[in-house]
Structure 1
């Protein structure tokens, strides 16, 4: 596979059908290995090289949408669901017994733990999800944290600082587990400090957010959130915050203009 990839990279003017053939084989290979992240990547690249409606049968589209959904949920580093949810292939799940998988992806994209818990009774339809419930629970908690941070970004410095208690409420975790969750999400320039956990957990940061932890004050200050494809509702929230920011700028401008000119002479 690596040799074929290198050959394709070195060639100019390769037909899309050739790339499609490679990505399809690569996706099938990683699917057989249950290696979700490279399957997800190669499967989306395959779909980018074909006409989904013309080149795939309805059954093939359904299988592909199903497999991509499972890969997105179980991929250890996949926390951006917007690209998949907006892909035409996902329409194949609509009005089928597997539509709940698409709905579950929206739940993860929103970081909605309540809806996640209400969907859990359906997990028996996909044994692989039942087997990985602890991982999915951690993933939805991380998505809840990301969404909570996203809603606070742009609301001033105070909005970027969250107490451990607030994070515990947003993620429905015991407060003594919040520090571990935030460290899992944080992007660190240096190795993480020791925690009450195994070495692999302590040093495997997902780089979903950037910021600092104050362990004494039990607060987390978040300065950056990993870019991702936003849903329409998230874009609407962003537009609302932009409008509010513009209003604050206008108010500040009016305040400055109303002050005694001498105050601003220098």
Structure 2
């Protein structure tokens, strides 16, 4: 093709890439051509801006000729990557709106994906479009949740917009929930290092400050937090890990070491009282979790020691844990005991799994000891 031949002359370093596209097009191998285009538009080395952005030109002069012959969802993904080469979000939005008008009516999931990417671009255009994005998210939440057999990218796109939106307007707990859903549907390899770094920071802060967020195992298990390792922001992921353990002393130690950065975060400052309460609740949950199942009567004195609270505050903390649905039990005011019957299940980290393993070993020994006792006392049953 003349266009591809011209591109090879303008960008000789991409000669083999353009030749590959040409060969697949001539052979009418549209599936292979689609995959090659995906790799091409995602490769930073293939993004050129001199004399003008090359990807929009690639769409106009080449992809548009056969776009009806390729998978509609992958076409939207390709065009989303192409749209990022425009200087202004408004230009990118117009480009995708043009594409949306050309999609086959039967390609409902591709159309939905395209609408999602348009909404994400609206979000980038500022607060004037926040209401539009909010309405779109509310309207399509049940649609996305009810999708059957859709490619993960469709779900991922929705949750990406949602976490971006709630990351801007709040609350933290909604950002946290949608960010985890986005990560669950997204291949880590397609997330840029910059985006991983920013999301790891925001997730750590949202987990600590988010109302009603007490289970951090899911975020601690995701590789996204590794983006902070070895960087000046590693203290945030360290903070989240000790917060998850309810380790008040270690938490205060990290805050003290990074006090300037910690108090520079508005969320930490505005929710400081709630963070202390949440940390005390997690310390209480850890205390109960680490006890044997037959030893769930916890004294107020022990709770006060672990949570670093005064004795007069212990009953309030217990009532708070009950109202949050974290723990079930009853208060014995005469003996100043908290009789626990249930603790909210949690995703366990390595240290907690190790503790659970020890509990299982102890239980195994007790079962074996009981078996020996029964055999000794009732030998006739084993003859």
Query: What is the TM-score with the length of structure 2 in the denominator?
Result: 0.61
Which structure is higher in helix share? 2
Q: Does 1:83 align with 2:218?
A: yes
Question: What is the CA distance between 1:208 and its match in structure 2?
Answer: 0.6
Equivalent position to 1:93, from 210, 221, 228:
228
Question: What is the CA distance between 1:9 and its match in structure 2?
Answer: 3.4
Question: What is the CA distance between 1:153 and its match in structure 2?
Answer: 3.6
> Size of the alignment, in residue pairs?
242
Q: What stretches of structure 1 move > 4 A for 4+ residues in a row?
A: none
Equivalent position to 1:221, from 325, 335, 339:
339
Aligned to 1:246: 364
Q: Does 1:69 align with 2:208?
A: no
Measured on the aligned residues, the alpha-carbon RMSD in Å equals 1.7
Question: What is the CA distance between 1:206 and its match in structure 2?
Answer: 1.1
Aligned to 2:194: 59
Q: Does 1:144 align with 2:283?
A: yes
Q: 1:168-207 maps to which residues of 2 (within 5 A)? A: 168-186=304-322, 205-207=323-325
| Aligned-partner SS, 2:338 | strand
Equivalent position to 2:351, from 233, 242, 263:
233
Call closer, same or farther: CA 1:18–1:250 in 2, change over 3 Å.
same
Question: What is the CA distance between 1:109 and its match in structure 2?
Answer: 1.4
**Alignment check: 8 A CA contact 1:8 1:14 kept:** no
Q: Does 1:17 align with 2:156?
A: no
Question: What is the CA distance between 1:38 and its match in structure 2?
Answer: 1.3
State the structure with more CA Rg. 2
Aligned to 2:374: 256
Matches of 1:207 and 1:93, distance apart in 2: 32
Matches of 1:11 and 1:178, distance apart in 2: 47
Matches of 1:139 and 1:72, distance apart in 2: 11
Matches of 1:153 and 1:104, distance apart in 2: 28
Matches of 1:246 and 1:22, distance apart in 2: 47
Matches of 2:222 and 2:148, distance apart in 1: 28
Question: What is the CA distance between 1:51 and its match in structure 2?
Answer: 1.1
Equivalent position to 1:31, from 151, 167, 186:
167
Equivalent position to 2:248, from 113, 131, 141:
113
Call closer, same or farther: CA 1:261–1:41 in 2, change over 3 Å.
same
Call closer, same or farther: CA 1:65–1:250 in 2, change over 3 Å.
same
